[in-house]
Amino acid sequence: MKVYLDNNATTLVDPHVFEQMEPFFVQKYGNPNSLHLFASETHQPLKTAMEKIYAGIHAPREDSVVITSCATESNNWVFKSIYFEYILTGRKNHIIISEVEHPSIISGAKFLETLGCRVTYLPINKEGIIEASTVRDYITNKTALVSIMMANNETGAIFPVQEIGEICKEFNVLFHTDAVQAIGKIPLDVQSFNIDYLTFSAHKFHGPKGIGALYIKKGRELTPLFHGGSQMGGHRSGTLNVAGIVGMGKAMEQAIDSLDYEMCEIREMRDAFEDKLLKIKDTFVVTPREKRTPNTILISFRGIEGESMLWDLNRSGIGASTGSACASEDLEANSVMEAIGADDDLAHTAIRFSLSRYTTQEELDYTLGVVLEAVDRLRAISSSYAYAPEGHESGLDSHHH
Ligand code: PLP
């Protein structure tokens, strides 16, 4: 059996999405900016797709949703533009992010540091969550931007973006949120949250890879990252990825349609699976489940290196992760676990299971069996676990486990 439980890394393309994209490769391949019938036949599908994308995040027509190649590009665009508009001109010199942002934010912030920008990395609490009040503590009159993700990719922890948005508004500071892990998992409305910029990426919600977007509130202009033609109103030049946009539109529509299923059925399946995993001795989960996206479990099995567990799962056809997709190739401690101050053993033993609306009960039952066997096998040969006394103190508060 093959089981895919790495949906926070990427998702399968929904067959209905693929079906809608297909004509735009071999049949309707015109460049939308050309002045002939080959171009015209792409116009209505593009318009429909854009309407679905706007509707999905509740963006009013006067705001912009600019199509990019991925969330990494959208995040980079915000940071580099902030540099050109505020830091380089000397108007402001400070940005605030969380210490558990995706590398496409953290690396962007580190790059700005080399250019003279001061960066505050907000800590997460014991539950793996940013407290909105900490944002207030660090904002100064030199703060150009606050960028805090809507949901964390590793733990699924949902951050108080609405409250943070209000604080930013109060201090007149721009607010960006990376909503990559939120779309299709929790309700999202750019109008009721005070959001100036919002990033998302189609491949995290059953759309194709290589297409993402940046929502920009009216009046919050950004210096383009790519200068070129007039595509996307000159905000982001380059021939439009027609198939990708059509695919992202359909994927957005499906994500919104299946939000209830995700928030009820998938949550129930996740919770039941997690309950069974937590019955295994010496297992720990950081963020309380009601404060998480419905599909994610980050769980530590004391005494078992995350990578060893991945190996055993992989041998049995199961794809999971130790956290961020980019970190899977080196034996690094899980960064969120480190950030909450978990001891080294726990930080190295985290495994992430991320479900999707395609996950079945049968797959989870099979996975549980494989995990149980792997835990027995790996703990029997684990030097760190063999010496751990029975019922020892965990490195974390255990009240919500
Ligand atoms: N932001 C978050 C929170 C993510 O989880 C990811 C993907 O891992 C990204 C950004 C990057 O997305 P993309 O692959 O579309 O650049």
Name the residue with the closest Cα to ligand 1, atom 7: 9
- Atom of ligand 1 minimally distant from the CA of 75: 10
Mutate to test the pocket of ligand 1, among 68, 147, 153 (most ligand atoms within 8 A of CB): 153
List active site positions.
326
Query: What is the C-alpha end-to-end distance of the chain, expressed in Å?
Result: 30
The CA distance from 55 to 151, in Å, is 20
- What's this model's pTM, rounded to 2 decimal places? 0.93
- 16-43 pLDDT, tens digit each: 999 999 999 999 999 999 999 999 999 9
Mutate to test the pocket of ligand 1, among 201, 296, 298, 354 (most ligand atoms within 8 A of CB): 201
At residue 343, does pLDDT exceed 80? no
Report how far ligand 1's centroid is from the alpha carbon of 182 (Å). Answer: 11
pLDDT of residue 392: 41
Q: What per-residue string of b and e applies to 303-314 under the rule 16 or more CB within 10 Å gives b?
A: bbbbbbbbebbe
Strand 197-201 vs strand 212-216: parallel, antiparallel, or unpaired?
A: antiparallel
Name the residue with the closest Cα to ligand 1, atom 12: 71
Report how far ligand 1's centroid is from the alpha carbon of 153 (Å). Answer: 8
Quote the crossing angle between the two packed helices 306-315 and 361-380, to the nearest 10°: 130
At residue 50, does pLDDT exceed 60? yes
Find how far residue 121's CA is from the centre of its chain: 18
pLDDT classification of 330: cutoffs 50, 70, 90? low
Ligand 1 residue neighbourhood (C-beta within 6 Å): 70-72, 102, 104, 149, 153, 178, 180-181, 201, 212, 325
Report how far ligand 1's centroid is from the alpha carbon of 33 (Å). Answer: 29
- Atom of ligand 1 minimally distant from the CA of 101: 3
Domain ranges of the chain: 3-9+259-380, 15-257
Share of the chain above pLDDT 70, in %: 94
Instruction: Decide if 3-9+259-380 and 15-257 have a common fold.
Output: no
At residue 125, does pLDDT exceed 80? yes
pLDDT classification of 384: cutoffs 50, 70, 90? confident
* CATH tag for 15-257 (out of 3.40.640.10, 2.60.120.10, 3.60.20.10, 3.30.70.1560): 3.40.640.10
At residue 244, does pLDDT exceed 50? yes
Torsion angle in degrees (nearest 10) through CA of 128, 133, 135, 136: -170
- 154-204 pLDDT, tens digit each: 999 999 999 999 999 999 999 999 999 999 999 999 999 999 999 999 999
- 72-122 pLDDT, tens digit each: 999 999 999 999 999 999 999 999 999 999 999 999 999 999 999 999 999
Which of 87-96, 176-185, 297-306, 339-348 is predicted least confidently?
339-348
Report how far ligand 1's centroid is from the alpha carbon of 389 (Å). Answer: 40
- Atom of ligand 1 minimally distant from the CA of 201: 15
Domain 3-9+259-380: which CATH class?
Answer: alpha beta
At residue 339, does pLDDT exceed 90? no
Report how far ligand 1's centroid is from the alpha carbon of 331 (Å). Answer: 20
- Atom of ligand 1 minimally distant from the CA of 69: 15
pLDDT classification of 338: cutoffs 50, 70, 90? confident
